[in-house]
Structure 1
Amino acid sequence: MNSFAGKLKKIRERSQSPGRALSPERKAGLTGRGTSVLPSHVASGSLSPTQNRKLEPVRKISQEFNQKLWIRPTLAADTEVIEDVKEGKMPISAFSQKRAEIRERKINWGAYLQSGLITQEQFDVIINVDKYSPEKRGWIFRDQGVFVAECFIELLNNISKDDTIQYLLTLIDDSLEQDRTRIGGLNIYAENQAVTVASLFIPFLNRTDLYIMHQTARIIAKCACWSASLMEEPDLSSYLVFLKLILRSSNNEYKETTVRCLQMMLRIREYRLAFLQNDGITGIVNALNANASNSQLQYQLIFCLWCLTFDADVAKEFLSHNVVPIMGKILTDCQKEKVIRITLAILRNLLEKCDDDPEVLKELGICMVHARIIRSLEHIEKRRLVDPDLLEDVEYLVTALHKAAEHISSFDEYMAELKSGSLEWSPAHKSETFWRENAARFSEANYELLKILVYLMQRSKEPLVLSVAVHDIGQYVRFSPRGKAIIDKVGGKEAAMALLSHADADVRYQALLAVQKMMVTNWEFLGKKSEKDQNQQEVSVKS
């Protein structure tokens, strides 16, 4: 003990020598953001103008991440990457169970010392950190957090055994969870080495051991969100690419843990924007579709989408990625209150953030009405839930969507259905009045709607979608004077011909009708013949 205290004193004197003088920010330990607390000498305004300029970003960040400014208490806990095991309770996830097992390991640090893999100073530090309970480690980090950080990093770099790496990463993560201001030691050590703190850990994301990868991801998330400065390129892109790969992975028992890292990152506007630029919404939407049966993961992914809705520009991205229909389906199928709450929060945020953009607001309203969200809201009201935030959101959405529904035309509904990619036999498709009045509008925006129909005919695997799409191509040809030439130009004729050999009988039938309409001009005769053929087909099916 005396030997270790003497070494700490010697190291402390060395770190405070003229050659390694600490700036006021570094002495303050680079205050963790989540605490929203600045050192007393900063709060008192006793700094010089230059020092004040340096600390202005810290003040700004501290204000920005005060949870009370933007996040509801019912959701606050889910924005932190924290241990999901309470004292006296069993671990509730595969990752927590693995962490509990690793904490019980006894590492033979003496063997590493004898083999020369670690120095005597490193041995002294790790032995003392290792032997004390989390509550009693505080004095070590308080007296010389920078040297402890240096010891951790050098041990990680000098030792290759996975079991020991797992233990060290868990020890670092536990230390940060106990007191987030300890992130300051890592930041100062990285600054002394002229590197970024994230770069100290990013190489461990490439390890083959799943636990090491995911534990490293937790530490990087904390460094990114609790440090006084933002994570910058290229570290940020590397980390976001890793998180996107995790979203795509299958059979990964630790996926929920790393998605929680994404929940934490997306609280920060700069990280949200970087994630959007990396096509992050596509990754979340694909993961939602692939993990519909995992309610916990579903909730975490929806939470990530909710974080993104705090930026007004994201509404257009949500429309282009068909997020609203997915939210509508979740409201229809899910019974878990926390999932319903966060889904409603997304819908409300989208409408509120687009209040100054009438076109986007109208399109959102149309999408929500088409996704039958009003019906889902009525069912939610009948459940007599008591959460005041949830009830307030329901009331807001019901009012907003009823107002939107008053101004929606049949063509607006058709466009929303078509852009969702989920076609069905809604009234507009078989209404001659609809096609007579609106066929000319299919030529707008460089034939956008026709191109979507052709795309669905070429790519969709759903027989219903194929049947409706090829039927609509035929209807356009019938009611548009230049329909045949335009459909040929956008590839519709070729796509319809390909469906003549489809395995589904109704797809073949609708494709045949569409092709006939492209070939003949006597629509009245063809219409009567088609009706007769359809009646015969129905009789044949019944018999």
Structure 2
Amino acid sequence: MPTDQAEITTDEVLSRDIPWETYMTTKLITGTGLQLLRRYDKKPENKKADLLDDDGPAYIHVFVSILRDIFKEETVEYVLALIDEMLSANPKRARLFHDKSLAGEDLYEPFIRLLWKGNWFIQEKSCKILSLIVSGRPKSQDANANGESSSKQTTTTINDVLKGLVEWLCTQLKNPSHPSRGIPTAINCLATLLKEPVVRSSFVQADGVKLLIPLITPAANQQSIQLLYETCLCVWLLSYYEPAIEYLATSRSLPRLIEVVKGSTKEKVVRVVILTLRNLLHKGTFGAQMVDLGLPQVVQNLKAQAWSDEDLLESLNQLEEGMKDNIKKLSSFDKYKQEVLLGHLDWSPMHKDLIFWRENITSFEEHDFQILRVLITILDTSSDPRTLAVACYDLSQFIQNHPAGRIIVTDLKAKDRVMKLMNHENAEVTKNALLCIQRLFLGAKYASFVQV
């Protein structure tokens, strides 16, 4: 796409003169349509507002008919700019698209088509307009869409629209049409649309949650703060939806959210992240992870700051109380399990605590040695030297403390994986890989003589 076309502004587009009479001569617009356009086009905003108040649905009909029947890029851009101008001045005008007099028209189809076929200006305006139209629809339309779809198969249903939008938004997050505006536009629309159940389910099914995670990162300038806020708003909306929570649990979302809240001074960003964390607190293993990632101290620091939002202070208190419950409930093996399942190991005290290994060694047998299997998988999948070193050390501790440790670890084919790590460039990794191999070959009887 040419850069000048991508960077064109609404004002530049609206300064064009469109030959409406020519379109009527070629029967691409009707005589009535031409009359309405002559009254409206190039008029002051207050005059346009009066015309929309008096005859809004008729103007919507004309605008959508042009987008359906005329393919000249300059004209399509112009009509999209007119609609965008109309909705920006008063977003409630989106209701005009749902007037009963337009019930037989497929108002959505031209915008869905233009999402994929136009230049960036056309794509961006179509996305923004569609989002506003969809959000402004009467909820009765949803029930009708399901009931009447068989008799009106040519009509684009609301579910078609929402799924089409999600597909386009995910494409923008993966491969933006515009280098600087593609992703912010997609996130801005998602922050509006994720209130819709169909959008939430379509977004999760399209593997969209993982596309948000890289955008959860501390922001420096105003533009990136707004993008961060709207991304966190998306995550907050998804935190009410169970299938999305499962995706969030298996991603690096929690450490990123905590990093953002630690480093942000923008109250709206802090508020939406804290509300998200509060929603996730009692879901699955999030509470335990929050404790492990040091969130209790972060919350205490945030409470000491002067926030004007009482809801934020209340949420901070609720989060703090919830985490206190988690700290009480969490056994040392639960904490260990969370660390292993997250795949990021560190030298927390339990790893070198002999009492921990003696008291919890039988817990490793749960679910067919699930935690041991994950530990061995980490040796293949992790690129973090600290994680690899700790995983080797923990395997050596299992061999040392479990009566059948050598046999179990050998059966699970850990030996070759540990052997490879003996040639690792990091000294901490090679030292602990060597310890593990020594204990694997010597067995528990002699392994106690091998020291770290």
Tell me the TM-score range normalised by the shorter chain. 0.7 to 0.9
Which residue identity lines up with residue 108 of structure 1 in the other structure? I
Identity among equivalent pairs (%): 24
SS at 2:125 equivalent = helix
* Residue of structure 2 equivalent to 1:307: 237
The 1:132/1:295 distance shift into structure 2, 3 A limit, reads same
Q: 2:172 aligns with which of 246, 252, 255?
A: 246
Are 1:192 and 2:192 matched, yes or no? no
The CA deviation string for residues 46-69 of structure 1, in whole angstroms up to 9 with x for no partner, is xxxxxxxxxxxxxxxxxxxxxxxx
SS at 1:386 equivalent = coil
Question: Offset of 1:226 from its aligned partner?
Answer: 0.9
Question: Offset of 1:345 from its aligned partner?
Answer: 0.9
Give the root-mean-square deviation of aligned CA atoms: 3.2
| d(CA) in 1 for partners of 2:264, 2:340 | 25
Question: Offset of 1:523 from its aligned partner?
Answer: 5.7
The 1:159/1:401 distance shift into structure 2, 3 A limit, reads same
The answer to whether the 8 A contact 1:187-1:227 is kept is no
Are 1:157 and 2:68 matched, yes or no? yes
Question: Offset of 1:417 from its aligned partner?
Answer: 2.0
The 1:278/1:448 distance shift into structure 2, 3 A limit, reads farther
Question: Offset of 1:249 from its aligned partner?
Answer: 3.5
Q: 2:362 aligns with which of 440, 444, 451?
A: 440
The answer to whether the 8 A contact 1:150-1:186 is kept is no
Q: 2:397 aligns with which of 472, 475, 479?
A: 475
Which residue identity lines up with residue 39 of structure 2 in the other structure? N
* Residue of structure 1 equivalent to 2:216: 288
Which residue identity lines up with residue 226 of structure 1 in the other structure? G
* Residue of structure 1 equivalent to 2:304: 382
Question: Offset of 1:423 from its aligned partner?
Answer: 1.8
Q: How many residue pairs are counted as aligned between the two chains?
A: 426
Superposition map of 1:44-55 within 5 A: none
Question: Offset of 1:393 from its aligned partner?
Answer: 1.4
Which residue identity lines up with residue 190 of structure 2 in the other structure? L
Q: Which runs of 5+ in 2 are unaligned?
A: 143-156
The CA deviation string for residues 480-528 of structure 1, in whole angstroms up to 9 with x for no partner, is 233344334545334323323333232233223223332221565x454
Q: 1:212 aligns with which of 122, 141, 144?
A: 122
The answer to whether the 8 A contact 1:365-1:401 is kept is yes
| d(CA) in 1 for partners of 2:435, 2:102 | 69
Question: Offset of 1:301 from its aligned partner?
Answer: 0.8
Moved over 6 A (4+): 290-293
| d(CA) in 1 for partners of 2:415, 2:287 | 34
SS at 2:425 equivalent = coil
Q: 1:235 aligns with which of 161, 173, 182?
A: 161
Question: Offset of 1:270 from its aligned partner?
Answer: 4.1
Are 1:174 and 2:85 matched, yes or no? yes
Which residue identity lines up with residue 342 of structure 1 in the other structure? V
The 1:198/1:479 distance shift into structure 2, 3 A limit, reads farther
Are 1:503 and 2:433 matched, yes or no? no
The 1:410/1:199 distance shift into structure 2, 3 A limit, reads same
Q: 1:223 aligns with which of 105, 108, 133?
A: 133
Question: Offset of 1:335 from its aligned partner?
Answer: 3.1
Which residue identity lines up with residue 330 of structure 1 in the other structure? V
SS at 1:192 equivalent = coil
Which shifted more, 198-207 or 321-330?
A: 321-330
Question: Offset of 1:372 from its aligned partner?
Answer: 0.8
* Residue of structure 2 equivalent to 1:462: 384
Are 1:336 and 2:266 matched, yes or no? yes
| d(CA) in 1 for partners of 2:7, 2:335 | 49
| d(CA) in 1 for partners of 2:427, 2:21 | 73
Which residue identity lines up with residue 492 of structure 1 in the other structure? A
Which shifted more, 459-468 or 175-184?
A: 175-184
| d(CA) in 2 for partners of 1:137, 1:268 | 32
| d(CA) in 1 for partners of 2:172, 2:360 | 45
The 1:190/1:481 distance shift into structure 2, 3 A limit, reads farther
Which shifted more, 242-251 or 216-225?
A: 242-251
Question: Offset of 1:97 from its aligned partner?
Answer: 8.4
| d(CA) in 2 for partners of 1:290, 1:380 | 16
Which residue identity lines up with residue 116 of structure 2 in the other structure? N
SS at 2:41 equivalent = helix
Which residue identity lines up with residue 232 of structure 2 in the other structure? I
Which residue identity lines up with residue 250 of structure 2 in the other structure? S
Which shifted more, 490-499 or 423-432?
A: 490-499
Which residue identity lines up with residue 211 of structure 1 in the other structure? F
The CA deviation string for residues 139-186 of structure 1, in whole angstroms up to 9 with x for no partner, is 433444343223222322344444433332222122233252444336
Which residue identity lines up with residue 520 of structure 1 in the other structure? L
The CA deviation string for residues 430-489 of structure 1, in whole angstroms up to 9 with x for no partner, is 222222222322232233323332333222222222222232233223322333443345
| d(CA) in 1 for partners of 2:87, 2:30 | 25
Question: Offset of 1:256 from its aligned partner?
Answer: 1.6
* Residue of structure 2 equivalent to 1:403: 325
The answer to whether the 8 A contact 2:191-2:234 is kept is yes
| d(CA) in 2 for partners of 1:116, 1:97 | 31
The 1:387/1:160 distance shift into structure 2, 3 A limit, reads same
Question: Offset of 1:224 from its aligned partner?
Answer: 1.8
TM-score by length of 1: 0.70
Which residue identity lines up with residue 301 of structure 1 in the other structure? T
Which shifted more, 470-479 or 338-347?
A: 470-479
The answer to whether the 8 A contact 2:163-2:199 is kept is no
Q: Which runs of 5+ in 1 are unaligned?
A: 1-94, 355-359, 532-543
The answer to whether the 8 A contact 2:238-2:245 is kept is no
* Residue of structure 1 equivalent to 2:251: 321
Instruction: Name which structure has the greater RCO, CA cutoff 8 Å, separation 6+.
Output: 1
| d(CA) in 1 for partners of 2:412, 2:23 | 72
The 1:154/1:488 distance shift into structure 2, 3 A limit, reads farther
Q: 1:394 aligns with which of 316, 341, 351?
A: 316
The 1:190/1:199 distance shift into structure 2, 3 A limit, reads farther
* Residue of structure 1 equivalent to 2:371: 449
| d(CA) in 2 for partners of 1:517, 1:115 | 90
TM-score by length of 2: 0.82
The answer to whether the 8 A contact 2:14-2:82 is kept is no
| d(CA) in 2 for partners of 1:308, 1:396 | 20
| d(CA) in 1 for partners of 2:228, 2:363 | 38
SS at 2:422 equivalent = helix
